[in-house]
């Protein structure tokens, strides 16, 4: 990884000029996602109404769209926001939560993909299904391993011209040409509600910092999450105590500690 785009460098830049991140996320994730962005140093805004989503996306540093608690009204807000982000040259991140579960979700994600997300982040089952494969996902839960989704991620990246992140025990990021794996985190992370959704918002924050380098921005966001997760695991007795320790670890994490502890490997 190039020194000028190391995770620590991007984290320092984020905190020096906190980006405004427009988050259209689900009801379950709003609170923890906002707190994660604040702990990292970014400025969150949870705006989804059709009447203002487009205008807001145009002024934000980045947009993130998560379909976790999808409705027709929210979908219209997502569309106008994605269009506005594209027209304004702002990066935007798509989190296709359980898109394979219903026809409504499948149609929504098909439409959002047409609008050209800069980055796609999902679990292995979501990414496999998004690429047209047969996943074993059930609801929002992934039943597939990240390694099983790597080729699907590469295909998605090439077809849509996007950076694709598959998150799990070991994360995988690709832009269709470059690929890396990121180790870290801890066993409690999947047992804390909406941490994955919060990661999508953090990816948006880093993308706002480096809009011209979505691959490096995505790697930096996932590395930050992984290192904070490892640090928070020290002393945690379960998902409850881990949850508040994670926010504290994220807020305390500095560029030096991040780059010292990051585990990113070419794939």
What's the CA gap between 243 and 69, in Å, rounded? 22
Asked whether 150 and 174 are in contact (CB, 8 A), the reply is: yes
CA R_g for the chain: 17
Q: How buried is 108 (Cβ within 10 angstroms: 0-12 exposed, 13-18 middle, 19+ buried)?
A: buried
Cα atoms in the Cβ-side hemisphere of radius 13 Å centred on 42? 34
Tens of each residue's pLDDT in the chain, 267 residues: 444 589 999 999 999 999 999 999 999 999 999 999 999 999 999 999 999 999 999 999 999 999 999 999 999 999 999 999 999 999 999 999 999 999 999 999 999 999 999 999 999 999 999 999 866 555 555 567 899 999 999 999 999 999 999 999 999 999 999 999 999 999 999 999 999 999 999 999 999 999 999 999 999 999 999 999 999 999 899 999 999 999 999 999 999 999 999 999 999
pLDDT at position 5: 83
pLDDT at position 139: 52
DSSP the chain: --GGG-HHHHHHHHHHSPPEEEEE--TTTHHHHHHHHHHHT-EEEE---HHHHHHHHHHSSEEEEE-TT--HHHHHHHHHHHHHHHHHT--EEEE-TTTTS-HHHHHHHHHHHHT--SEEEEEHHHHHHHTT-----BTTB--S-GGGGHHHHHHHHHHHT-EEEEESSSEEEE-SS-EEEEE---TTGGGSTTHHHHHHHHHHHHHHH-TT-HHHHHHHHHHHHHHHHHHHHTT--SHHHHHHHHHHHHHH--HHHHHHH-EEEE-
What's the CA gap between 202 and 258, in Å, rounded? 15
CB burial of 184-206 (b: ≥16 within 10 Å; e: otherwise) equals: bbbebbbebebbbbbbbbbbbbb
């Amino acid at each position: 990884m190039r020194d000028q785009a190391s995770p620590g460098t991007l984290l320092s830049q984020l905190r020096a000029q906190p980006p405004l991140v427009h988050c259209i996320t689900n009801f379950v994730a709003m609170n923890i996602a906002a707190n994660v962005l604040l702990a990292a140093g970014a400025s969150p805004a949870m705006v989804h109404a059709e009447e203002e989503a487009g205008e807001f996306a145009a002024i934000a540093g980045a947009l993130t769209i998560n379909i976790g608690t999808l409705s027709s009204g929210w979908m219209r807000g997502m569309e106008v926001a994605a269009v506005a982000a594209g027209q304004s040259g702002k990066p935007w991140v798509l989190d296709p939560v359980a898109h394979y579960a219903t026809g409504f979700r499948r149609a929504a994600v098909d439409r959002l993909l047409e609008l050209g997300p800069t980055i796609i982040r999902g679990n292995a089952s979501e990414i496999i299904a998004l690429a047209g494969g047969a996943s074993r996902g059930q609801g929002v839960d992934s039943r597939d391993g990240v390694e099983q989704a790597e080729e699907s991620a590469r295909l998605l990246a090439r077809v849509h011209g996007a950076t694709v992140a598959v998150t799990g025990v070991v994360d995988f990021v690709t832009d269709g040409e470059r690929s890396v794996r990121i180790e870290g985190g801890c066993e409690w992370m999947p047992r804390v509600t909406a941490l994955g959704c919060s990661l999508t918002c953090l990816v948006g924050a880093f993308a706002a910092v480096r809009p011209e380098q979505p691959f490096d921005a995505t790697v930096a966001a996932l590395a930050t999450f992984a290192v904070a997760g490892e640090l928070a695991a020290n002393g945690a007795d379960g998902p409850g105590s881990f949850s508040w320790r994670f926010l504290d670890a994220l807020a305390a994490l500095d560029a030096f500690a991040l780059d010292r502890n990051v585990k990113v490997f070419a794939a």
